[in-house]
Amino acid sequence: MKDKAGLVRGIDLGTTHSALAYARCDEETQELHAIAQLDGPGRLIDHELLPSVGFLAEERDASLRDRALPWDLSGEAPLVGRWARALASGNPEKAVLSAKSWLCYAGSHREARLPQGASEDRSWTAVEASAHFLRHMDASFRASLGQEPVQRTVLTVPASFDLVARQLTEEAARLAGLQNVTLLEEPLAAFYAWLSAHQTNWQDALKPGDLVLICDIGGGTSDFSLVSVSADQGLLRLDRIAVGRHLLLGGDNMDLALAHHCQAQLLKTELDHWQFLSLQQEARRAKESLLTSDAPDHWPLAIAARGSNLFAQTLRCELTRSTAQSLLLEGFFPAVELITEKPKARSAGLARMGLPYENDPAITRHLGAFLQQAQEQVRLSIDLQNSLGKTWIKESKALMPTAILFNGGVFHSEALRQRVLHLLQNWGATRLQELTSPGYDHAVALGAAHFARLQMTGQGMRVRAAAARSYYIGLESNEPAVPGLRRPLRGLCVLPQGTEEGSKLSLPEQEFGLWTGDALSFRLFSSAQRSSDQLGTIVSDAEADLEEVTELQCHIPQGDEQPGLLPVHLRADLSDIGSLHLAMQHSLSDRQWSLEFQLREEAKSNHA
């Protein structure tokens, strides 16, 4: 009998907005918590969304008294939320924005300080920023719900977040003082919200053989996942079988596109940063209205200047329905052919230091590529073929879903949903039903809270989410060096795709020699396609066939062992919460030394 008392929470830590939902273990519903936050000087407001924006305020920006919070009257808590966003529009160089995107930025950028270029005491790392958002939400929640213990907190991450990004998210939760934290993929959270809303009748909609595509387009990221429905010994079984690539592309890009279009209309006038941001906000409203079925032909926009003369300084421009539709539908959701068109690759050369936004804004091309990748994945794996049954058509170029669940604010627009549905039908999805989202903006937080309760009580339908990617460690090959010839780096599979959470893997037949006292580094690679690789499979050219994730380090202190070469083999533990721990296991004893991701954050925070 599992614990049934107390509260559980789900937190959607988003790129632009965050939300928190909670549930009681003995009840069936979950609710959003209105997050208390500063909206202006000394002004608190409760709102369901917390803008994921931080502002490094000094006394001259906002006095400590004006920054007091009900749970911290000193006013020294980091300023996040609505007021931070408002202040950021006037002083962007003190603003921390899109911290989440930096968490999944390969290379050393993960520990970049935000705002970029600011000194250490006037900036946060992406992890610190995420911790500040989490701590704020936690404090607001505790202030409103009292001392009732929180049994579990489920934190959502994009399905495409790699291991390091997941670990950094956990680190942020730890810094924020959250306990009993589980990570959950956002598209799955949205799916859990749907399951929760259809607790009694979801089996009428989904039958064995169904394949659900979850299409989640957030503010800053797009995320695709496929969930298969199969029968396992008479019981229905749900498996998340594929996840897409990390795409830094979302609803904000659409607003930006419209804003740039409008700015081009205002030829003579130069917009300041603040005006451009309000133009972007206006563009978002225009987008929401112009993409409805009964949209007006014209949508006038008015952009005020900062001066008090509202009448002489307000700029006017206009968006027509046809421009909005062509910019957004054709720009972001073009009706592309499935096979021929691949997303445009990143253009070579120097790029300004910043986030690696997608080069190709066509979300539909990325979706097409994802379905083709999923098809390849199934082609290589007998297990996947068995679980899909007739849904998998060998000759098909792409894996076609039979149901689709939309998530994310942009899908308030029916036109966009229709475009995706029609496109999938054109691509060959002959039988396709739309699952009605329980709320495009809040499903992730609500689903996360539902999942948290499911974890506590053990009651409810679970989606098995085995490792969506396989992971490899780079090994130098033993061939003799030849001038001019690149020695390929081989990749040893340490975690095959499909590994269930909570698995412990060991590779005793692959023995390594480790020198004590040395810091050893390994390159970690991954692949979403290679579903047939087993534990210990060797990929002949890792650099060509796999994606590099990060570097791993292992250090065996000298005094620990006799100096010299130690025989070790690799162990991999995939924890219940989906994080991977790699370790070197001494072949002759129980001792083991863990392999750490190189990009460790210093575990400290500005506001301890």
| Contact flag: residue 40 with another protein (CB under 8 A) | yes
| Closer to another protein by Cβ: residue 73 or 231 | 73
- Give the position of tokens 């068109």: 341
| Contact flag: residue 439 with another protein (CB under 8 A) | no
| Contact flag: residue 314 with another protein (CB under 8 A) | yes
Which of 34, 236, 355, 475 lies at the binding interface for another protein (CB under 8 A)? 34
| Contact flag: residue 86 with another protein (CB under 8 A) | yes
Which of 231, 310, 351, 565 lies at the binding interface for another protein (CB under 8 A)? 310
Whole-number Å distance between alpha carbons of 482 and 25: 64
Burial of 72 (0-12, 13-18, 19+ CB in 10 A): middle
- Answer for the pair 370, 224: CB distance below 8 angstroms, yes or no: yes
449 SS3 class: helix
How near is the Cβ of 307 to another protein at its closest, in Å? Answer: 8
Helices within 240-301 (DSSP H only): 251-265, 273-290
243 SS3 class: strand
- Which DSSP helix (H) or strand (E) runs through 379? helix 363-380
Kindly indicate which of the ranges 23-31, 40-48, 192-200, 398-406 contains the residues binding another protein, using the contact rule CB under 8 A: 40-48
Q: Report the candidate in 126, 120, 36 with the shortest Cα–Cα distance to residue 77.
A: 36
Q: Which two tokens stand for residue 178?
A: 């959250």
| Contact flag: residue 312 with another protein (CB under 8 A) | yes
Q: How many residues form the binding site for another protein (CB under 8 A)? A: 32
| Contact flag: residue 270 with another protein (CB under 8 A) | no
How near is the Cβ of 41 to another protein at its closest, in Å? Answer: 8
| Closer to another protein by Cβ: residue 315 or 461 | 315
Kindly indicate which of the ranges 67-75, 114-122, 328-336, 406-414 contains the residues binding another protein, using the contact rule CB under 8 A: 67-75
Neighbours of 478 (CB within 10 A): 7
Whole-number Å distance between alpha carbons of 232 and 208: 9
State the sign of the Cα–Cα–Cα–Cα dihedral 350, 356, 362, 368: positive
| Contact flag: residue 122 with another protein (CB under 8 A) | no
| Contact flag: residue 70 with another protein (CB under 8 A) | yes
| Contact flag: residue 44 with another protein (CB under 8 A) | yes
Which of 118, 271, 304, 421 lies at the binding interface for another protein (CB under 8 A)? 304
| Contact flag: residue 42 with another protein (CB under 8 A) | yes
Peptide bond connecting 115 to the previous residue in cis, omega within 30 degrees of 0: yes
How near is the Cβ of 68 to another protein at its closest, in Å? Answer: 5
| Contact flag: residue 68 with another protein (CB under 8 A) | yes
Which of 207, 316, 431, 487 lies at the binding interface for another protein (CB under 8 A)? 316
How near is the Cβ of 227 to another protein at its closest, in Å? Answer: 35
| Contact flag: residue 271 with another protein (CB under 8 A) | no
- Answer for the pair 271, 261: CB distance below 8 angstroms, yes or no: no
How near is the Cβ of 35 to another protein at its closest, in Å? Answer: 12
| Contact flag: residue 380 with another protein (CB under 8 A) | no
| Contact flag: residue 47 with another protein (CB under 8 A) | yes
Whole-number Å distance between alpha carbons of 155 and 15: 13
| Contact flag: residue 46 with another protein (CB under 8 A) | yes
| Contact flag: residue 292 with another protein (CB under 8 A) | no
| Contact flag: residue 309 with another protein (CB under 8 A) | yes
Q: Which residues, 6+ apart, have CB-to-CB distance to 78 below 8 Å?
A: 54, 124, 132, 135, 136, 606, 607
Burial of 469 (0-12, 13-18, 19+ CB in 10 A): buried
Whole-number Å distance between alpha carbons of 10 and 459: 17
DSSP per-residue codes, 467-496: -SSEEEEEE---SPP-TT-PPPPEEEEEE-
Kindly indicate which of the ranges 69-77, 165-173, 397-405, 518-526 contains the residues binding another protein, using the contact rule CB under 8 A: 69-77
How near is the Cβ of 310 to another protein at its closest, in Å? Answer: 4
How near is the Cβ of 314 to another protein at its closest, in Å? Answer: 4
Kindly indicate which of the ranges 66-74, 261-269, 408-416, 579-587 contains the residues binding another protein, using the contact rule CB under 8 A: 66-74
Residues at the contact surface with another protein, assessed by CB under 8 A:
34, 39-47, 68-70, 73, 86, 90, 282, 285, 300-304, 306, 308-312, 314-316
